[in-house]
Amino acid sequence: MIPPPSTTGEAQPRPVELSGPEIQQLRDASVWARFLGVAGFIVTGVLALGLIGIIVKTRGGFSIGNKGAVMGLGVTGAAATLLWLYGRDVLAFFGRGEPSLTQAFRKLRVFFKLWAIYVVLSTAMDVAALLGKL
């Protein structure tokens, strides 16, 4: 069992102290993140409708391009969710305190990792498709 932090002899981390401009920047980032999250949900819905239309038009044919579209659809939906949650947690920071800000930045870090993995996989699929045509 881990002893309480006050008995370990380690200094407690200081709470976050933000200046007025930093607080305003966080509020602005929260608003934009929630806007982009909602816009991402809308884009995901439009992409899903387009993908369904393509699958119906090709009578269920599922090429590597369609697989890439499904992957992009999933990543776009996940990214929109993470951005919206980031914005929500930043706003919660002003009401609940520091743990909410930590959660917000964790979600932002996951967003960037997810997007980097998507870019690498998408590029690899494009290269594989190009090499298959040669």
Identity at 44, one-letter amino acid code = T
Question: Which pLDDT band holds residue 115 (cuts at 50, 70, 90)?
Answer: confident
pLDDT greater at residue 71 or residue 28? 28
Q: Which of 64-73, 85-94, 107-116, 124-133 has the lowest mean pLDDT?
A: 64-73
Q: Is the pLDDT of residue 1 over 50?
A: no
**Residue 18 is assigned to a structural domain of this protein:** no
User: Could you tell me the residue range of the domain that residue 110 belongs to?
Assistant: 28-133
Is 12 inside any structural domain? no
- Quick one: which of 68, 33, 30, 69 has its CA closest to 48? 69
Q: How many domains does the chain have?
A: 1
* Span 35-81, pLDDT tens digits: 989 998 898 888 888 888 877 777 766 565 567 777 778 888 888 88
Flag whether 66 is in a domain: yes
Task: Please give the Cα distance from 8 to 20 (Å, whole number).
Answer: 34
Residue 109 lies in a domain: yes
Domain contains 89? yes
Average pLDDT, the chain: 80
Q: How far is CA 107 from the centre of its chain?
A: 7
Residue 9 belongs to a domain? no
